[in-house]
């Protein structure tokens, strides 16, 4: 029987653990506050930002929402980040991506104080992860490690193949699986014989951004399959990068879309906020 990895239930469990921690921190007068900045009104970003605010409310973290006009200049955004960096009452700063084209994303990410970088995107956070030092870890890959661990899936010694090499998912995922003693391969759009490479995996993490691309031809029987993609298909139904109906019967465990990796990203963001409050207090 294939194990369906329930990201909704696991993220709810993590959020409840965090809520309890936050209640105890408040007794010690430790306050938590996340600043969320959105520039423009991309509809998908508005949904994500709304969900982040709701999660903060549930856990007991104060959130400051900055909904800035599409025409906000890079200097105005930098000024706001510098102000939030200085504020002692703000533990975490998150700038929702993508930003409008006239703003240099890398420069904005570098402006955030690494001790408040709850997204884990700052080069210092990424560098720390790379050499096994403390720092914030990008939320989606951190959430995938939690999904695996809390589902009783062993990583150490296993063949892990990641398809996709983005800065937000693929690269940090490779470092985290390596940290857990997996044997890691990162495949991408230029990889030759992708099907054969993917078929080596005991744990296959798919973050390619193409709906239902991964069929059972890419999957070894008994593998664990983690699907990071989220798309709307021709019938307006959500689907992932993995052809779930084709792949699920042959693997040992799989994440559904929706309700797999997605809910974990916010849970790990909340976890980073709680850690940040510890760091800054
Ligand atoms: N846009 C899509 N995913 C993310 C994320 O995890 N963090 C931020 N800041 N922007 C995003």
Q: Residue 91: is its pLDDT beyond 70?
A: yes
Is residue 101 pLDDT above 90, yes or no? Answer: yes
Give pLDDT, residue 277. 86
Taking CB atoms and a 6 Å cutoff, what residues make up the pocket around ligand 1?
94-97, 119, 139, 265
CA of 29 to the centre of ligand 1 (A): 30
Please tell me which residue in 15, 52, 158, 212 is annotated as part of the active site. 52
- pLDDT for residue 278 is more than 90: no
Whether 146 is catalytic is no
Return the higher-pLDDT residue of 278 and 64. Answer: 64
Q: Does 105 share its domain with 215?
A: no
d(CA 33, CA 56): 9
Q: How many domains does the chain have?
A: 2
In terms of residue numbers, what domain contains 249? 139-261
Q: Which atom of ligand 1 is nearest to the CA of 98?
A: 1
Tens-digit pLDDT profile for residues 181-214: 999 999 999 999 999 999 999 999 999 999 999 9
Whether residues 148 and 257 share a domain: the answer is yes
Q: Are 220 and 210 contacting, i.e. CB atoms less than 8 angstroms apart?
A: no
What number is the average pLDDT over the span 167-182? 98
First to last CA, the chain: 47
CB 93 within 8 A of CB 117: yes
Tens-digit pLDDT profile for residues 229-275:
999 988 999 999 999 999 999 999 999 999 999 999 999 999 999 99
Annotation marks residue 199 as catalytic: no
Same domain for 99 and 149, yes or no, is: no
Q: For residue 280, what pLDDT is reported?
A: 65
Is residue 276 situated within a structural domain?
no
Give, for ligand 1, the residue of 39, 44, 53, 96 to mutate: max count of ligand atoms closer than 8 Å to Cβ: 96
pLDDT, tens digit, 9 for 90 and up, residues 16-61? 999 999 999 999 999 899 999 999 999 999 999 999 999 999 999 9
38 falls within a domain: yes
Catalytic residue among 6, 117, 119, 227: 119
Residue nearest to atom 2 of ligand 1 (CA): 97
Say if residue 281's pLDDT is above 90. Answer: no
Return the number of other C-beta atoms located less than 10 Å from residue 89's C-beta.
Answer: 12
pLDDT band at 139 (very low <50, low <70, confident <90, very high): very high
Active site residue 26: no
Any domain includes 155: yes
Average pLDDT over residues 48-77: 97
SS3 for 95?
A: strand
Looking at the structure, tell me whether residues 98 and 144 fall in a common domain.
Answer: no
- Determine the pLDDT at residue 58: 98
- Residue nearest to ligand 1 atom 11, measured at CA: 97
- Write down the pLDDT at residue 234: 87
Would you state the torsion angle of the CA atoms of residues 247, 248, 250, 255, taken in this order, to the nearest 10 degrees? 100
pTM for the model: 0.97
Report the mean per-residue pLDDT for the chain: 97
* Per-residue exposure over 143-179, b if at least 16 CB sit within 10 Å of its own CB, e if not: bbbbbbebbebebeebbbbbbbbbebbbbbbbbbbee
**Ligand 1: distance of its center to the CA of 119 in Å?**
7
Q: What atom in ligand 1 is closest to the CA of residue 95?
A: 9
CATH of the domain at 92: 3.40.50.10860
In a shared domain, residues 103 and 149: no
98 and 172 together in one domain = no
Query: Which CATH number is 148's domain given?
Result: 3.40.50.720
């Amino acid at each position: 029987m294939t194990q369906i990895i329930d990201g909704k239930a696991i993220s709810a469990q993590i959020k409840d653990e965090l809520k309890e921690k936050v209640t105890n921190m408040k007794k010690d007068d430790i306050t938590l506050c996340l600043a969320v900045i959105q520039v423009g009104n991309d509809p998908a970003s508005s949904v994500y930002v709304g969900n982040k605010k709701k999660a903060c409310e549930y856990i007991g973290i104060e959130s400051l929402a900055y909904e800035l006009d599409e025409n906000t200049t890079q200097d105005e955004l930098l000024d706001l980040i510098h102000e939030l960096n200085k504020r002692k009452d703000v533990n975490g700063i998150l700038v929702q991506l993508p930003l409008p084209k006239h703003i240099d994303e890398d420069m904005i990410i570098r402006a955030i104080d690494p001790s408040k970088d709850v997204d884990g995107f700052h080069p210092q956070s990424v560098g720390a992860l790379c050499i096994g030092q403390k720092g914030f870890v990008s939320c989606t890959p951190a959430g995938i490690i939690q999904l695996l661990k809390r589902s009783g899936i062993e990583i150490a010694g296993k063949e892990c193949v990641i398809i996709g090499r983005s800065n937000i998912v693929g690269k940090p995922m490779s470092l985290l699986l390596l940290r857990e003693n997996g044997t890691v391969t990162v495949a991408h759009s230029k990889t030759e014989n992708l099907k054969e490479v993917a078929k080596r995996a005991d744990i296959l993490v798919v973050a390619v951004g193409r709906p239902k691309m991964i069929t059972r031809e890419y999957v070894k029987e008994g593998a664990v399959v983690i699907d990071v993609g989220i798309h709307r298909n021709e019938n307006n139904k959500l689907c992932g990068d993995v052809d779930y109906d084709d792949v699920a019967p042959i693997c040992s465990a799989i994440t559904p879309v929706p309700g797999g990796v997605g809910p974990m990203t916010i849970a790990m963001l909340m976890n980073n906020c709680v850690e940040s409050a510890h760091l800054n207090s």
